[in-house]
């Protein structure tokens, strides 16, 4: 089909207009979908420190490129590559298919943090099996899959905030159990996960070679620990595995000048 130059110009104007409209609709959607907003410190603790605004919202596939770019920055800045598993964009694409699975935090610099959920189902690598959840509970398990904060924005409790929002989302969706995996070397992440009420239920090799705590929270009936407490050096892996095998659960972390300790105790329901 032949089109005249004038027709082509009209079409192009129409297309530009619809693109502007689409962008506007997207912006309105984003503003109305803000979960939380406020101010945080960029470059906390350095001479470049400044206060900036942030917004938290659920992300969709349009944000995938920004997510992959942030993942790359995280990897470049890791002091120990073992603590963080990277994922390809196809992997994240699948996550966006489940609504509200991915939370992002944005500043004027763009995407600065993300938190991703995974719904393993009964067939997948369900961490519920690592902690001996009854088989009829496995379909109620959700994983806190991965989390990242841009190095310039760390120290603002963004992991704790995003995971807190996701825990409420999971409960509203009718799931009862949240599980996650964390390296014993990743103290910032471990502390944040404890602060959202998850506790250590296992310590084992996952994905062939990665040593990981498996942490869990029953959203309907959170564990109550007490009254016996055993504190153990966080570097003592064998000692912790032994305690876990004896039915103890890790519920708290204490930073020391030369390391850290994990407090273990028994579920109150089991001790009484």
Ligand X SMILES: CC(C)(COP(=O)(O)OP(=O)(O)OC[C@H]1O[C@@H](n2cnc3c(N)ncnc32)[C@H](O)[C@@H]1OP(=O)(O)O)[C@@H](O)C(=O)NCCC(=O)NCCS
Residue nearer to ligand X on the CB measure, 148 or 243: 148
Among 38, 110, 124, 155, binds ligand X (CB under 6 A): 155
d(CA 212, CA 207): 10
- Name which position in 158, 167, 199, 249 contacts ligand X (CB under 6 A): 158
Binders in 80-109 for ligand X, by CB under 6 A: 83-84
DSSP-assigned states of every residue in 191-217: HHHHHTT-EEEEEEEETTTEEEEEEEE
With CB under 6 A as the contact rule, which of the stretches 20-28, 52-60, 151-159, 212-220 interacts with ligand X?
A: 151-159
One of 42, 140, 154, 266 touching ligand X (CB under 6 A):
154
DSSP track, 120-144: -TTTS--HHHHTT--GGGGGGEEEE
Which of 107, 126, 189, 263 is the binder for ligand X (CB under 6 A)?
189
What distance in Å separates the CA atoms of residue 60 and residue 259, rounded to the nearest whole number? 39
118: helix, strand or coil = strand
According to CB under 6 A, which one of 101, 126, 169, 192 is a site residue for ligand X?
192
With CB under 6 A as the contact rule, the residue among 107, 126, 159, 223 that binds ligand X is 159
Phi then psi for residue 222, to 5 deg, are -60, 145
Distances in Å between the alpha carbon of 237 and those of 62, 182, 194, 233, 262?
Answer: 42, 14, 18, 8, 11
Beta bridge partners of 142: 178
Q: Given the complex with ligand X, which of 67 and 149 has the nearer CB atom?
A: 149
Rounded Cα–Cα distance for residues 176 and 137 (Å): 8
Cα–Cα–Cα angle for 80, 81, 86, rounded to 5 degrees: 145
Does 157 bind ligand X (CB under 6 A)? Our answer is yes
Min separation Cβ 131 and ligand X, Å: 18
Segment interacting with ligand X, rule: CB under 6 A, options 56-64, 154-162, 214-222, 260-268 = 154-162
DSSP 43: T
Residues in the chain: 272
Least separation in angstroms between CB 107 and ligand X: 13
Phi, psi of 214 (to 5 degrees): -105, 120
By C-beta, is 140 or 154 nearer to ligand X? Answer: 154
Smallest separation, CB 252 to ligand X (Å) = 15
> Which two structure tokens, joined as six digits, stand for 94?
């699948």
Q: Which is nearer to ligand X, 178 or 243 (CB)?
A: 178
Among 56, 111, 141, 149, binds ligand X (CB under 6 A): 149
Smaller CB distance to ligand X: residue 137 or 260?
A: 260
β-bridge partners, 116? 102, 146
Contact pattern from residue 28 through residue 57 relative to ligand X, giving x for each residue in contact according to CB under 6 A and a dash for the rest: ----------------x-------------
Kindly list the residues in this chain that would bind ligand X in the complex (CB under 6 A).
Answer: 44, 74, 83-84, 146-149, 154-159, 186, 188-189, 192
């Amino acid at each position: 089909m032949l089109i005249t130059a004038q027709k082509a110009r009209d079409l192009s104007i129409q297309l530009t207009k619809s693109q502007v409209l689409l962008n506007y609709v997207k912006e309105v959607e984003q503003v109305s979908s803000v979960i939380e907003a406020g101010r945080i410190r960029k470059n906390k603790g350095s001479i470049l420190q400044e206060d900036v605004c942030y917004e938290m919202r659920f992300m969709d596939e349009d944000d995938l490129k920004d997510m992959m770019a942030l993942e790359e920055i995280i990897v470049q800045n890791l002091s120990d590559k073992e603590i963080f598993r990277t994922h390809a964009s196809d992997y994240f694409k699948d996550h966006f298919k489940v609504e509200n699975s991915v939370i992002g935090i944005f500043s004027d610099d763009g995407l600065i943090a993300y938190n991703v959920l995974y719904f393993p189902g009964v067939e997948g690598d369900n961490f519920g099996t690592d902690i001996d959840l009854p088989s009829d509970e496995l379909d109620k398990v959700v994983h806190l899959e991965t989390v990242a904060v841009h190095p310039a924005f760390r120290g603002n409790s963004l992991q704790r905030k995003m995971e807190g929002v996701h825990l409420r989302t999971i409960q509203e969706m009718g799931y009862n159990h949240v599980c996650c995996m964390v390296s014993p070397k990743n103290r910032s992440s471990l502390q944040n996960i404890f602060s959202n009420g998850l506790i250590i239920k296992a310590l084992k090799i996952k994905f062939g070679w990665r040593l990981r705590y498996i942490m869990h929270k029953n959203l309907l009936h959170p564990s109550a620990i007490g009254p016996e407490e055993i504190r153990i050096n966080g570097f003592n892996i064998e000692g912790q595995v032994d305690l876990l095998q004896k039915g103890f659960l890790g519920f708290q972390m204490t930073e020391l000048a030369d390391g850290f300790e994990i407090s273990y105790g028994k579920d109150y329901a089991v001790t009484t």
